[in-house]
Structure 1
Amino acid sequence: MVAITRATLARQLSSSITTRTVVSSGVRKKYTKNKKKTVKQRTSSSTISPPLQPYNEIAGKSNVIAANGYDRYGNPTGREYDLGRDGAFMGFHILIAQFYFDSPFNDAAMQLPIDELKSKGFQVTHVKTEDACITELASNHYQIAWIISTSQIRNSKFISALTAFHSAGGAIFLFADNTPYVCHASEFLRKKFGITLEGNYYGGKIMTYKENGHQQIGNFGEHEIFTGITNLFEGITICHPVYSTPASREVFVTIATASDDNSSIAVYDPPPTSTEGRLCLDCGFTKLYVNWDSAGTARYILNASCWLSGIEKRLM
């Protein structure tokens, strides 16, 4: 397949579709204790046909009543409860840079999320070295990069390459775990926001959905990433962000708080005037390796990747 750049993809998506209706994200809002969640419907003179609608009707709703079925964790079963529709992300490319791997088991485990991403239409490339990642990032071929941190940055050019990718509109899913397996995510966030990652908290608990519960211990609040999820595994060994300024805490927004009362999932949605891509930070990457079948993990990872694509913005 011929490589599709981020700019070309945006033009193709907007020109090939005559009508569209998408659910607008409330991401850039500042979460407050008394603020109610609303799902806005954004329309224009054009709407896309139902098969190309990128998000399911349930988009943005965690607490699903009267679902067709529920799993043992209380989350609704069925792909119609995911954020993104199957096949809706054709033409989007994800680069997975897996720098942490301590056994062949991790390679086999990574195939599970790769297969699930493909079901949504994503094309996936999987690399394991910083050199290969830098080369791929510079290709202008990818809209999203997963960065799975390890204990050391070996190529001094890596952070600048990742920063350039993000500044040009590339979205990034940052995965970290306990110290010292935080280096890539922490160094990028330090240069971007003045935020570092540290900690080695043994979690293993399940976070629960609570309206406006983003910063409450053991809870997550309203966000498209948590569509169809009322219970979510927090990870086993977990780090947390350390904010250098109040401003950094405001711009990089916590959307889930682990059982140690620290931020465990946070997002950045750039302002409309910015050329940057979206960001999502996960502080417990054991979800990918040994806990894929735990509460809400698979849906959360897929939802986050769909949200990072910014597909609703590209269709505007």
Structure 2
Amino acid sequence: MKRLMLLLALCLSLPAFAQYTRSAGTNAPAADIVIETRADPKTGTVRQERIERPVQRDSHGNAASAQHDLAVDGAFDGQTVVVIQLYTGSDHGVPFDFVKPKEALAQKGFSVYRYLNRPPAPKELAEKLQKASQLWVIGGAGRQLTEEHARVIKRFFDSGRGVYLWGDNAPYSDDANIVARALFGTELVEHHAQGEQVVGIHRKGSEPGVIQRHLLTTGIEYLYEGHTITNIDKLGPLEPLIYGSDGRVVGAYYDRDGKRAIIDGGFTRLYLKWDTAGTGRYVMNAAAWLANAERFGDKVVARKVQQQ
């Protein structure tokens, strides 16, 4: 009974939007819901029944079905993620071509517009962002963004649109940090950390893992932290999202006054060992959360969801 009351309280505390699945905010779903059509053997009457079945899990232990992602497939059709990707090299023979993240985002309906190796002029960026749902910045080898870029991004953020700042070991956090300082007064700090671990659910203190019962970690009990990672020592207005295997905060989020952002010290997660625990779902969850349906809604999105 106590567990039932806790689950009910959790469900009532989370927002219900057409874009989100029934699993929203749940790391470890209790059951899959299956609709089966059955005919009464005596009367021949056909009826539909909701059947609960044990959750099928992938090889890493996370729930396997897309119904345990945060968002319904196709829910954000027509929305665009602008990506400034300043690192396009390769590691261990794997190119950072953004193919896998783009496929994952497309599953939820997002299109992707990328700037590669160099950012656009601030004026062009401001124009492009007028039609964007969110902006992702992936740092390169040395800072290319300017204070003027940061001001453009801050205006975009202050309008309620999502921002994801991705860094890695120095100097690959410089571009994320110029924006992080402008938005939050904080930054990613180099600790020469070698990641390569799968973390579970964070429960207390500095224990490694992803936070529990948050929309961003829907359906995620295990997550690959990244190959090399950097950390956030001073969170300021941010909240911890991912604790790395060394106990330091790898990822954090901002969710105040109708504005949302994520800062992350493990962009290697986007191309190295993509099929390791949780990455694809995490990327989809992040984009869906940053779309900020709670603030903006979307009539086009709602129609798309109703048609599915």
Query: Which TM bucket (shorter chain)?
Result: 0.7 to 0.9
Partners of 1:133 and 1:116 in 2: CA distance: 28
Alignment partner of 1:308 out of 268, 290, 306: 290
Match of 1:219 in 2: 209
- 1:211-234 Cα shifts (integer Å, max 9, x gaps): x54x53212222111101111111
Distance (Å, rounded) in 2 between the aligned partners of 1:161 and 1:38: 37
Is the aligned partner of 1:95 residue 2:82? yes
Residue among 106, 120, 123 paired with 2:108: 120
In structure 1, the gaps of 5 or more residues are: 1-35
SS in 1 for 2:106: helix
Higher strand share: 2
Name the counterpart of 1:57.
Answer: 22
CA positional deviation for 1:297: 0.6
Match of 1:271 in 2: 257
Aligned residue runs from structure 1 range 82-231, under 5 A: 82-103=69-90, 105-108=94-97, 110-128=98-116, 129-131=118-120, 135-139=124-128, 140-156=130-146, 157-199=148-190, 200-210=192-202, 212-213=203-204, 215-222=205-212, 223-231=214-222
Cα gap change, 1:42 to 1:266, in 2 (>3 Å): closer
Q: Is the 8 A contact 1:85 1:120 kept in 2?
A: yes
CA distance in 2, matches of 1:91, 1:133: 24
| C-alpha separation in 1, matches of 2:9 and 2:127 | 38
- The superposition leaves residues 167-212 of structure 1 with CA deviations (integer Å, 9 ceiling, x where unpaired) of 22221111111111101111111222221212220011111114x5
- Following superposition, the deviation at residue 41 of structure 1 comes to 5.8
Query: Relative to 1, partners in 2 of residues 1:314 and 1:191: Cα closer, same or farther, differing over 3 Å?
Result: closer
Quick check: 2:151–2:182 contact (8 Å CA) kept in 1?
no
Q: CA deviation at 1:106?
A: 3.0
Equivalent residue number for residue 26 of structure 1: none
Paired residue type of 2:232: P
Query: Max radius of gyration: which structure?
Result: 2
Distance 2:272 2:122 in 1: 24
Q: Distance in 1 between matches of 2:264 and 2:153?
A: 17
Describe the SS at the equivalent of 1:121: coil
Aligned partners of 2:30 and 2:177: how far apart in 1? 38
Partner in structure 1 of residue 50 of structure 2: none
Q: TM-score, normalised by structure 1?
A: 0.76
Displacement of 1:158: 2.1
Tell me how far apart the structure 2 counterparts of residues 100 and 306 of structure 1 sit (CA, whole Å). Answer: 24
How many percent identity over aligned positions?
Answer: 27
Aligned to 2:46: none
From 216, 239, 246, the equivalent of 1:253 is 239
> Structure 1 residues 132, 86: closer, same or farther in 2, change over 3 A?
farther
- Report the residue type matching 2:86 in the other structure: F
- Distance of 1:39 and 1:100 partners within structure 2: 40
Q: How far has the Cα of 1:155 moved from its partner?
A: 4.7
Which runs of 5 or more structure 2 residues have no equivalent in the other structure?
1-7, 32-53, 299-308
Aligned counterparts of 2:160 and 2:288: Cα–Cα separation in 1: 15
SS of the equivalent of 2:170 reads coil
Shift of 1:115: 1.5
Contact 1:220–1:255 (CA<8 Å) still a contact in 2? yes
Q: In the alignment, what sits opposite 2:228?
A: 237
Q: Which amino acid in 2 is paired with 1:309? A: A
TM superposition outliers: structure 1 runs of 4+ over 6 Å: none
In structure 2, C-alpha distance between the alignment counterparts of 1:194 and 1:153, rounded to whole Å:
17
Say whether the 8 Å CA contact 1:54–1:89 is kept in structure 2: yes
- How far, CA to CA, are the matches of 1:242 and 1:42 in structure 2? 29
How many residues align? The count is: 262
Pair 1:69 & 2:60 matched: no
Q: Which residue of 2 aligns with 1:286?
A: 268
